[in-house]
């Protein structure tokens, strides 16, 4: 139930915003923010799916890494620094395991999915 609500109320509107900004000049200004917000929501989604013993948690985490990589590609250095610190400080990412957060750090550092 929570995963479905998160999809409807958070992820769908964020994806719609990305689609609307895709061919806009505003994409350069908001690309990092939108993709990082999607990654935050997907971190919560991954944790929810893990707690509900769903086999979809791996897929959700892989999607999170792809969106985090896209955020990285749109980021300024200051945004990357803040995002890296956020992996340990923000509650959304603290719901993930230490190994998952380490994988996200690697994604932010190298751009690798």
Q: pTM of the entire structure?
A: 0.86
Burial track 74-105 (b if 16+ CB lie within 10 A, e otherwise): bbeeeeeeebeebbeeeebbebbeeebbebbe
Contacts 24+ apart (CB under 8 A), 53-57: 54/3
Tokens of 38: 């999607």
For 60-84, how does the pLDDT look when each residue is reduced to its tens digit (9 = 90+)? 999 999 999 999 998 999 999 999 9
pLDDT higher at 30 or 59:
59
Tokens of 27: 């994409």
List the domain boundaries for the chain. 2-110
CB 71 within 8 A of CB 113: no
Neighbours of 3 (CB within 10 A): 20
For 20-36, how does the pLDDT look when each residue is reduced to its tens digit (9 = 90+)? 887 777 677 778 999 99
């Amino acid at each position: 139930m929570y995963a479905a609500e998160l999809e409807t109320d958070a992820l769908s509107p964020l994806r719609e915003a990305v689609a609307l900004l895709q061919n806009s000049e505003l994409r350069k200004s908001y690309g990092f923010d939108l993709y990082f917000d999607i990654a935050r929501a997907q971190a919560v989604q991954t944790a929810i799916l893990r707690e509900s013993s769903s086999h979809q948690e791996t897929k959700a985490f892989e999607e999170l890494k792809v969106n985090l990589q896209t955020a990285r590609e749109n980021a300024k250095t200051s945004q990357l620094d803040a995002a890296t610190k956020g992996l340990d400080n923000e509650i959304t990412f603290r719901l993930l395991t230490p190994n998952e957060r380490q994988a996200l750090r690697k994604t932010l550092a190298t751009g690798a999915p």
